[in-house]
Structure 1
Amino acid sequence: MSREPASGPDRRDFLRLATTAALAGVTGACSFPKARPPVKGGRLRVATAASSTADTLDPAKQAVVMDYCRGNMFYDGLTRLDEHQRAVPALAEAIDTRDARTWTLKLRRNVHFHDGRPLTPADVVFSLRRHHDPALGSKARVFAEQIAAVEAFGSDAVRITLTGPNADLPVILGISQLQIVRAGTTDFRIANGTGPFRCAEFNPGVRSIAARNEEYWRGPVRLGEVELFSIADDSARINALLSGDVDLINEMNPRIAKRIMGQGFGVLETRSGGYTDLVMRLDQVPGRSRDFVAGMKALMDRETMRNAIFRGYAAIANDHPIPQTSPYFASDLPQRPFDPERARFHFKRAGLAGATIPIVTSTAAMKSDDMAVLMQDAARAAGIALDIRRVPADGYWTQSWMKVPVGFGNVNPRPTADIIFTQFFSSTAPWNESGWFNPRFDKLLLEARGDTDEARRRAIYGEMQRMVHDQAGIGIPLFISTLDAYSPRLKGLKAMPQGGMMGFDFAAHVWLDDA
């Protein structure tokens, strides 16, 4: 049996821990401290790189950074993920299972929604069941489909029965889309959660204002208010920080990190499994040609991308989504090299020698513009031309991503191999970016999910990585560190592997030292 890897504990260790906690009726080492640090107040102004009129307060529909930040301010999940991406108790104070298929969750008492109503099992049942409705458009439906039944179990617990065993369920329950809403909620023009902040204002594509929840079950947080809005232009976002108009920004250009630090501002690097990927739709021309896909992957100069674009704030990837920090990383899979001559061979065999191929980029997909320019230079040596078509960030995810024949995606890190494969590569994945389908991959996904033997799971995930590397229309050149820049008056910010800005949960943990 393996010891705890960097990305989480051994699955059987967690089951033992969860069962013990449930039987004891306490959460032990997983419980939150009762004492809260002094509350200081003040308004924190935060500018992110992208926002749109598609912004949402419905946890089920969260898909971008702004949504995740608001979700963590206004709602709670049954579990949350710690700095090791392990599931720890949140609204569920204890979790019990004997077979990884039937789970009993004991709910925390004295938790109230922002409208004053207490949390009940009915709220959890409603929140989980709603993802089954196709009309909702839930981004977590692929996980909800693993739930065969969810029902109240007494006055303070729920019982979840899965279609098959999945010892990763506590981690899955900690993802943003599965945050808990009040039973019967259908109107999300305002948020009514149990989270550390109340929603004071929400104007999609413009801004939101969060006000401290004085009745928060974990105790009031330090900040008084958080104003969240977008400044799409990199230079304008940096200038807003330098001038004191904002206190925290995300997606800082790596090229100016040293200059920012030299002026007394902080830079937070978060190393994670997030990536910007080349997306080639396999159901459209030219992606229907496997040779075209292979040629495009060979055009990615990963070393130059890492050094020139990201200034070393990235790790080399190999066209699959499992980073080197994962215990399931396939170290025996040969690294795909940068090889324009090999690309030329594939393009010629695809009948595309001398062709001009449109490739869509946007600032919404981090550094996709710069990555495309490097590929454009390499493409000339490979006998084709890449026509870079830059489109605005507003609307990119709804109008271009997964729709254009060749473009880019931007994937935030996921805590487990099962989650990333389920959401992006299985046949039923809501974000199957390239439209890749493989029945054996789906079968292996189910096998790994229910297997508690770590050696077998490692072998299964290794084969799955090879399949994505060889067959999917996805090119993943790097795992990108996220860079957040912040004012020296902002305290408490630290790296979390779930993503930048403390896994998008900064608001509950930071404070302003002059508030």
Structure 2
Amino acid sequence: MTKNTPNNWTGRDDAMVENMIRRGASRRELLKMLMASGVGMAVGGSLLTRATQAVAATPVFGGSIKAAGWSSSTADTLDPAKASLSTDYVRCCSFYNRLTFLDEAGVTQMELADSISTDDAQTWEIKLKSDVLFHDGSTMTADDVVYSLKRHLDEAVGSKVNSIAKQMTEITKLDDTTVKIVLAAPNADLPTILALHHFMIIKDGTTDFSKANGTGAFICEVFEPGVRSVAVRNPNYFKGATVYLDSYEYFAIPDNNARVNALLSGDIQVAASVNARSLRMLEGQSSVATSITTSGNYTNLNIRKDLEPGLREGFIEGMKYLVNREAIQKSVFRGLAEIGNDQPVSAANKYHNPNIAPKAYDPEKAKFYFEKSGLLGTEVPIVASDAATSSIDMAMLVQQAGSEIGMNLKVDRVPSDGYWSNYWLSAPVHFGNINPRPTPDILFSLLYSSDAPWNESQYKSEKFDSMLVEARGALDEDKRTSIYWEMQEMIANEAGTIIPAYISNVDAISSKLKGLAPNPLGGQMGYAFAEYVWLDSTA
């Protein structure tokens, strides 16, 4: 073997040491070999530690797991365009692929696309990977991409990203592996937008979503909306032998304590989005681990501006002063959160406006505004549910604060089942729970533009709408940042959405489960965990 020094020890030599560890070489034997090669004791020890960690992190093929999310309903769907719950996103990430995806650092990478290029940010050319197979054995072509993207423009489909997709004025096939997209105006974010869960690619002509015919890492074996799904590894996956699990079962356990207990008992291997209260149950448990992601997830209190009591001048302002953000951060989330300033772009995003001061907790100011609204002493219901992370705890804090100034806030605790279809967006005062989105344009288009599909407070502003279009086409980063900062101020001051904190998502997992990592699209590795995790039989 060639003699090495610490400065010219190579990756090939690292691999050799890892291989010797796998073959059973002892630490003493390896150190003796390293020193004979000119590597000192301290450096040799460091190399061995690194190699040992690499061996321990080596993925293992085989095995099955059960994983539990926190939300589901009978409206669960395998149609990516209509996906809205975490359970939908997890399944779509398993059964389908996107043209692009966001890696752990938030950088846009190619997936089904081989390349995406443009000269002016308005006309884009997408080159597709060749020989990608759908689960039915057919080859993916440009026809499938064109069909998948155009579905979002069809109002009858009911796509959750219709307002975002509308900017695509032309989607055409140039040849079997090339697609052209022309936008209504320049938008440099297009490759990132295509990484959203809704823009999964489906087979041309698909209308039946009782099973998923995608290109993804897993094949759908069982799908029972509101109950469970079972997925088995795709033997023809275009990424090759990169999927480790043989299969996995996914379902929801809405109650946090029940979800954690299922993990502790070994019934499941993933308990997604565990709230701070339930974390106490995990303390000192060697059989479990946690994965923490802080990327812009939040639970917000929504007051519809088109309904009573939101129509009353002063009520929304009063509620903003009644929310004790520091208490929510410390007590409700046990410090696993960052204080929010009533707009959806978190500090993790480069466009976050740090100059917007969160409303201070001021019960006397809140009382002044409630008196102005004529509602002080009147019973006002607040709808909360375990379906919206920690919303019940937050509602109880606000209720207590209200009682101290004579404001009668009644917490209506409703079941998780049906919450998103029956109460979210509908109740006059209610909670939402928004998953991270990678760009302000996506957040604003989904939640705050006048035609946003999830306009939680029914905020309407022609100025905001025009600024959204202007920022989208601004290639000058300073100008774009300036516009986004002003839009965040408008939301904080004018909308009826109160965002007290950006939550650190905590997924609790079995210590045997390896490979889970944070992702800017949210917990459970941006909902794509199943493709990347494995079971360590030695743990």
Aligned AA for 2:338? A
Q: 1:231 aligns with which of 253, 257, 271?
A: 253
Deviations 1:319-347 (A, max 9, x none): 01111222222222232101111110000
Which segment is superposed worse, 490-499 or 469-478?
A: 490-499
Distance 1:372 1:258, change over 3 A: closer
1:271 match: secondary structure: strand
Residues 63-82 of structure 1 aligned to structure 2 (within 5 Å): 63-82=84-103
Q: 1:308 aligns with which of 320, 327, 331?
A: 331
1:274 match: secondary structure: strand
Residues 139-218 of structure 1 aligned to structure 2 (within 5 Å): 139-218=160-239
CA distance in 1, matches of 2:352, 2:509: 33
Distance 1:54 1:278, change over 3 A: same
Residues 279-428 of structure 1 aligned to structure 2 (within 5 Å): 279-428=302-451
Q: 1:107 aligns with which of 100, 124, 128?
A: 128
Q: Displacement, 1:212?
A: 0.1
Aligned residue in 2 for 1:493: 516
Q: 1:117 aligns with which of 138, 141, 156?
A: 138
1:273 match: secondary structure: strand
Is the 1:72–1:195 Cα contact (8 Å) retained in structure 2?
A: yes
Aligned residue in 2 for 1:452: 475
Is the 1:167–1:450 Cα contact (8 Å) retained in structure 2?
A: yes
Identity %: 48
Runs of 4+ in 1 over 6 A off after TM superposition: none
Which segment is superposed worse, 234-243 or 258-267?
A: 258-267
Structure 2, gaps ≥5 residues long: 1-57
Q: Displacement, 1:353?
A: 1.7
Aligned residue in 1 for 2:12: none
CA distance in 2, matches of 1:261, 1:93: 45
1:262 match: secondary structure: coil
Aligned residue in 2 for 1:250: 272
Deviations 1:32-78 (A, max 9, x none): xxxxx765111110011221101000000111100000000000001
Deviations 1:418-462 (A, max 9, x none): 110111001111101110100000111111100011111111111
**Superposition CA RMSD, Å:** 1.2
Aligned residue in 2 for 1:18: none
CA distance in 1, matches of 2:405, 2:91: 45
Is the 2:436–2:520 Cα contact (8 Å) retained in structure 1?
A: yes
Aligned AA for 1:211? V
Is the 2:98–2:194 Cα contact (8 Å) retained in structure 1?
A: yes
Is the 2:260–2:274 Cα contact (8 Å) retained in structure 1?
A: yes
Q: Displacement, 1:187?
A: 0.1
2:380 match: secondary structure: strand
Aligned residue in 1 for 2:244: 222
CA distance in 1, matches of 2:235, 2:204: 22
CA distance in 2, matches of 1:348, 1:259: 43
Q: 1:93 aligns with which of 98, 114, 118?
A: 114
CA distance in 1, matches of 2:454, 2:275: 27
Deviations 1:236-264 (A, max 9, x none): 21111111111011121323435514111
Aligned residue in 2 for 1:30: none
Q: 1:59 aligns with which of 62, 80, 86?
A: 80
CA distance in 2, matches of 1:289, 1:109: 58
Larger Rg over CA atoms: 2
Aligned residue in 1 for 2:149: 128
Aligned AA for 2:527? F
Aligned AA for 1:509? Y
CA distance in 2, matches of 1:188, 1:209: 15
1:223 match: secondary structure: coil
Q: Displacement, 1:86?
A: 2.3
Aligned AA for 1:51? S
CA distance in 1, matches of 2:322, 2:285: 38
Is the 1:261–1:267 Cα contact (8 Å) retained in structure 2?
A: no
Deviations 1:125-172 (A, max 9, x none): 000011111111100111111010101012210000011110000000
CA distance in 1, matches of 2:213, 2:405: 55
Is the 1:257–1:267 Cα contact (8 Å) retained in structure 2?
A: no
CA distance in 1, matches of 2:255, 2:117: 48
Q: Displacement, 1:80?
A: 0.6
Is the 2:260–2:281 Cα contact (8 Å) retained in structure 1?
A: no
Aligned residue in 2 for 1:21: none
Distance 1:38 1:233, change over 3 A: closer
2:314 match: secondary structure: helix
2:65 match: secondary structure: strand
* TM-score, normalised via structure 2 length: 0.87
Matched, 1:262 2:284: yes
1:420 match: secondary structure: helix
Aligned residue in 2 for 1:44: 65
Aligned residue in 1 for 2:52: none
Aligned AA for 1:128? L
CA distance in 1, matches of 2:191, 2:313: 38
Is the 1:121–1:152 Cα contact (8 Å) retained in structure 2?
A: yes
Is the 1:426–1:432 Cα contact (8 Å) retained in structure 2?
A: yes
Deviations 1:274-309 (A, max 9, x none): 100000011100101231000011111011111111
Which segment is superposed worse, 233-242 or 356-365?
A: 233-242
Aligned residues: 479
CA distance in 1, matches of 2:105, 2:439: 11
Aligned AA for 1:328? Y
Q: Displacement, 1:371?
A: 0.2
CA distance in 1, matches of 2:255, 2:436: 24
* TM-score, normalised via structure 1 length: 0.91
Q: Displacement, 1:122?
A: 0.3
CA distance in 2, matches of 1:270, 1:249: 14
CA distance in 1, matches of 2:450, 2:229: 36
1:227 match: secondary structure: strand
Aligned AA for 1:48? G
Is the 2:256–2:278 Cα contact (8 Å) retained in structure 1?
A: no
Aligned AA for 2:183? L
